[in-house]
Amino acid sequence: MSDPTKVTNQPSLTTSSGRVWLIVGGLFAAIALAVLIPMLTLGSPGVALFGIVAVSGLYLAMIVARLVTPRGRLRLGLMAAFMILMALVSLACILVVFVNEWNAARA
């Protein structure tokens, strides 16, 4: 018998159409881009640019997964994975730029 309280049995990972992942992913991408774009003027524009391209590409991958992958767990799992990757990439890029700026200010 499956446990309905198990994280992998959530409706957003089992029966959803994927629309909620696109909405939340779009909001997250917009926030990440709003932070990364101004960082282009700082000392590590390459890192910020990589973050911008990666976040945009991962959101595009979410859209493609929604349109191409058959409805079900695989589609929703892919969309969740792309969302997690967006969060990790944007956080890593923001932290790298922050640390570089911090070190430059202390030097």
Say if 88 falls within a structural domain.
Answer: yes
Its pTM stands at: 0.84
Distance CA 84, CA 24 (A): 11
Q: Which domain holds residue 39?
A: 25-97
Say if 9 falls within a structural domain.
Answer: no
Distance CA 19, CA 28 (A): 14
Distance CA 9, CA 1 (A): 12
Closest CA to 86 of 24, 38, 7: 24
Closest CA to 56 of 42, 80, 37: 37
Distance CA 55, CA 85 (A): 8
Q: How many domains, the chain?
A: 1
Per residue in 42-96, pLDDT tens?
988 999 999 999 999 999 999 999 999 988 889 999 999 999 999 999 999 999 9
Name the more confident of 33 and 107: 33
